[in-house]
């Protein structure tokens, strides 16, 4: 995914240095070229050999006094960088960059690079909240440097608060976003719904379905990488929010999803309804736990609004509406019927009876049909790849 891309990582001294080992390893798995520069204090936390082994490149250390060869090489590296990451970034290195101080290998290399620079701070909460540090960060943002906000939690010093280095996963997602974002959907607003809905019966029980949200989240992520402003409306799932979302709305019930969609649909250019919305909800909600009896129990269900059908009915000229059809039989025929009935532009049909497709799996097999009679089937693929295929189809469709 990052083949041919060069990531230079500047490591300054803090307990979070160990987490950067994971960042390097993740980037290598994505086939990036990774080069590491360590400050003197960073080396107190993790030995350069660890980073050398993980990056499969010599680590540039702060050795001004000993070696002059690096002096030239670090400028070459500053030029070669497609992106420069500073992690963990201490208050000290942030202060140095913000004030133009270049007195060691890392600060001089940052000064010399023209690549985008991502800074992931990690420090004690009081230091992070100190107005001097805040001002330095603001100043750097104005110069075009980007920050990956630290997490909150228990810090190494025992304090609780903001200042933990962002997770390696979040750091890598930010790098991916910076390196891979293109303009195919620049200026477009895309709304994606994902995951199941959860319809409560009483305080302990609910009706739901097997949707994992993987397809919808993959689409949201792919749309962000194509430069779109993405709103994600999600049912309860176990997936991290994609990095770079414009708007995230968490819902539980179909009614909540309906409200969130209708509140947000007007300004959207593309609406992709991959959520598995419950067609019915319990007719009544019992405030108390329903007690069992010796008899069978009948549950009365009442219809939920068909959200996609509602959008189809209220569709605006500039909008492209995409629906999903989860089918187990007569899949093309049923998908075609849904395309017409719900007045959508494109229907993504999948056969959820297959073990490699539909709910919960990482793969899917889809057929796309559009209102102009276009039809295209695809082999079994990763949902992440299919997300791109669906978006590319929409982009072509809108030309
Ligand atoms: N959908 C919706 N609101 C509902 C039910 C479904 O917006 N109350 C949307 C889904 O998000 C999907 C499409 O309609 O994009 C088709 O969903 P699917 O479950 O395949 O079909 P249904 O319309 O529910 O029909 P059936 O369950 O009878 O197959």
Q: What is the pLDDT of residue 39?
A: 95
- What pLDDT, on the 0 to 100 scale, is given for residue 66? 54
The number of angstroms, rounded, from the C-alpha of 335 to the middle of its chain's C-alpha atoms is 29
Beta carbons within 8 Å of 280's beta carbon, 6+ residues apart: 199, 207, 301, 302, 303, 304
Q: 1-52 pLDDT, tens per residue?
A: 899 999 999 999 999 999 999 999 999 999 999 999 999 999 999 999 999 9
Average pLDDT, the chain: 94
3-state DSSP of 269-311 = CEEEECCECCCEEECCCCCCCCCCCCCCCCCCEEECCCHHHHH
Residue ranges of the domains in the chain?
6-180, 189-397
CB 236 within 8 A of CB 209: no
pLDDT digits (tens, 9 = 90+) for 213-223: 999 999 999 99
Q: How far is the CA of 221 from the centre of ligand 1 (A)?
A: 22
28 and 1 in contact (C-beta within 8 Å)? no
Q: What is the CATH number of domain 6-180?
A: 3.40.50.1950
Q: Whose CA is nearest to atom 28 of ligand 1?
A: 279
Instruction: Compute, in angstroms, the gap from residue 372 CA to the centroid of ligand 1.
Output: 21
What is residue 70's predicted lDDT score, i.e. its pLDDT? Answer: 53
State which of 257, 325, 332 you would mutate to test the pocket of ligand 1, scoring each by most atoms of that ligand within 8 A of its C-beta. Answer: 325
What is the C-alpha separation between 375 and 322, in angstroms, rounded?
14
Cα dist from 286 to 189, 209, 261, 296, whole Å: 39, 21, 27, 18
Determine whether 21 is an active site residue. no
Q: 10 Å Cβ neighbour count for 389?
A: 16
Q: What is the DSSP letter of 211?
A: -
Q: Which fold has domain 189-397?
A: Rossmann fold (3.40.50)
Find the catalytic residue in 67, 157, 299, 340: 157
**142 CA distance to ligand 1 middle (Å):** 46
3-state secondary structure of 372: coil
pLDDT for residue 210? 93
Mean pLDDT by 10 residues, the chain (399 residues): 95 96 98 96 96 96 58 82 98 97 93 97 96 98 97 86 95 95 95 97 96 96 96 97 96 98 98 97 96 94 98 96 94 95 96 84 93 94 95 88
Q: Do domains 6-180 and 189-397 have the same CATH topology?
A: yes
């Amino acid at each position: 995914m990052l083949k041919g891309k060069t990531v230079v990582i500047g490591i300054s001294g803090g307990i979070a240095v160990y987490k950067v080992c994971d960042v390097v390893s993740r980037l290598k798995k994505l086939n990036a070229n990774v080069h590491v520069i360590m400050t003197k204090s960073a080396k107190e936390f993790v030995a350069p050999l660890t980073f050398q082994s993980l990056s499969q490149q010599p680590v540039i250390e702060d050795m001004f006094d000993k070696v002059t060869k690096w002096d030239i090489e670090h400028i070459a590296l500053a030029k070669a960088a497609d992106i420069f990451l500073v992690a963990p970034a201490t208050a000290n290195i942030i202060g140095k960059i913000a004030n133009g101080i270049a007195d060691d290998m890392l600060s001089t290399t940052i000064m010399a690079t023209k690549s985008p620079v991502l800074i992931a701070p990690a420090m004690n909460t009081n230091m992070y909240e100190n107005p001097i540090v805040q001002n330095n960060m603001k100043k750097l943002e104005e110069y075009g440097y980007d920050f990956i906000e630290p997490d909150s939690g228990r810090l190494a010093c025992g304090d609780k608060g903001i200042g933990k280095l962002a997770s390696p996963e979040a750091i890598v997602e930010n790098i991916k976003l910076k390196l891979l974002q293109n303009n195919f959907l620049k200026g477009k607003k895309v709304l994606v719904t994902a995951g199941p809905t959860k319809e409560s019966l009483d305080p302990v029980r609910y009706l739901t379905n097997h949707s994992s949200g993987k397809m919808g989240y993959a689409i949201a992520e792919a749309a962000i990488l194509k430069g779109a402003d993405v709103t994600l409306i999600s049912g309860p799932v176990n997936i991290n929010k994609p990095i770079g979302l414009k708007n995230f709305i968490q819902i539980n019930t179909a009614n909540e999803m309906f409200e969130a969609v209708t509140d947000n649909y007007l300004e959207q250019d593309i609406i992709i309804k991959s959520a598995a919305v419950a067609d019915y909800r319990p007719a009544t909600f019992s405030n108390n736990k329903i007690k069992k009896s010796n008899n069978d129990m009948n549950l009365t269900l009442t219809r939920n609004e068909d959200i996609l059908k509602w959008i189809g009915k209220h569709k605006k000229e500039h909008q492209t509406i995409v629906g999903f059809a989860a089918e187990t039989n007569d899949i093309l025929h049923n998908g075609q019927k849904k395309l017409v009935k719900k007045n959508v532009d494109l229907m993504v049909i999948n056969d959820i009876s297959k073990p490699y497709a539909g709910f919960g799996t990482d793969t899917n097999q889809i057929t796309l049909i559009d209102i102009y009679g276009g039809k295209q089937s695809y082999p079994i693929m990763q949902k992440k790849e299919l997300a791109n295929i669906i978006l590319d189809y929409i982009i072509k469709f809108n030309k």
